[in-house]
């Protein structure tokens, strides 16, 4: 099963027609009109919209998982989206939120005015910050997912709670100064995600999300679910240094 929630998955050219058909079938009933279906068909055929690894809502192939597909247009007030099961062989590459952030930093303020400051917060606090949501999809497709006043969705990770608490305070100040909503999820070991503000709140229990479900985590357990060992990942770098680390992009 795909394990890394929020990662973007590029599907193979040979698999796109079948996945497109599945996405069209999985659209909410109110979004199955001809005009919306044509927009979805054009977007997946021409722009190669990536899928987002998400918690399965039904059976998935062995070794595969569920991908959510979100589109840069809406049906009324709702974003057009659908989720479908896929086989592992239908995916050619995965990109984590942290790799997407590297790409986003090349675009900088042209993607979103808060992005350079978000990167600076990561560098100063020692917290690694990844990009998810609409900003991530706009980064990899170049399509207009973001609208004026759009939220910024992040995942963050560190080896202990104090850096995350410092990042949470800095992100809150940035949100207030720029009048934008910033929603951050702490990325803990074992694929557990916890809302950052909840994690640093001092609550006796926090709600943890995984690829298979949700669970309440006692505060005493947090030391055992903190981030990946430091030798397994690079330390956060200065924003400009991160932006220089260009990698091939699909």
Residue 3: inside a domain: no
Residue 249: inside a domain: no
pTM for the whole structure: 0.88
Contact 81, 49 (CB under 8 A): no
* Claim to verify: residue 144 and residue 88 sit in the same structural domain: no
* Claim to verify: residue 193 and residue 165 sit in the same structural domain: yes
pLDDT at residue number 232: 38
* Claim to verify: residue 89 and residue 112 sit in the same structural domain: no
pLDDT at residue number 91: 97
For 60, the domain range is 8-95
Q: Which of 71, 95, 119 is the last residue of a domain?
A: 95
CA angle at residue 154 from 229 to 249, to 5 degrees? 85
Q: Which residue has the tokens 């001092």?
A: 202
Distances (CA, A) of 142 to 146, 161, 223, 231: 10, 35, 39, 34
* Claim to verify: residue 161 and residue 72 sit in the same structural domain: no
- Residues of the chain below pLDDT 70: 226-250
* Claim to verify: residue 65 and residue 120 sit in the same structural domain: no
* Claim to verify: residue 205 and residue 184 sit in the same structural domain: yes
Q: What total of structural domains would you count in the chain?
A: 2
* Claim to verify: residue 115 and residue 65 sit in the same structural domain: no
pLDDT at residue number 241: 40
């Amino acid at each position: 099963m795909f394990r890394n929630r929020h990662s973007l998955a590029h599907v193979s050219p040979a698999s796109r027609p079948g996945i497109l058909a599945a996405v069209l079938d999985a659209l909410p009933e109110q979004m199955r009109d001809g005009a919306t279906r044509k927009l979805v068909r054009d977007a997946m055929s021409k722009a190669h919209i990536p899928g987002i690894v998400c918690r399965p809502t039904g059976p998935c192939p062995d070794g595969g998982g569920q991908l959510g597909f979100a589109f840069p247009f809406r049906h009324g007030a709702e974003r057009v989206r659908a989720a479908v099961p896929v086989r592992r062989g239908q995916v050619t590459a995965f990109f984590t939120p942290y790799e997407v952030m590297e790409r986003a930093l090349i675009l900088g303020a042209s993607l979103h005015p808060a992005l350079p400051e978000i990167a600076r917060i990561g560098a100063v606090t020692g917290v690694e910050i990844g990009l998810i949501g609409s900003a991530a999809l706009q980064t990899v497709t170049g399509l207009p997912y973001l609208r004026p006043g759009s939220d910024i969705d992040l995942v963050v990770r560190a080896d202990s709670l104090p850096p995350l608490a410092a990042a949470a305070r800095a992100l809150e100040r940035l949100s207030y100064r720029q009048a934008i909503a910033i929603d951050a999820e702490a990325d803990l070991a074992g694929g557990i995600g916890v809302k950052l503000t909840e994690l640093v709140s001092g609550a006796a229990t926090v709600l943890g999300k995984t690829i298979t479900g949700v669970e309440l985590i006692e505060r005493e357990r947090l030391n055992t679910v903190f981030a990946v060992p430091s030798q397994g990942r690079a330390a956060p770098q200065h924003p400009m240094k991160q932006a220089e680390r260009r990698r091939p992009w699909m």
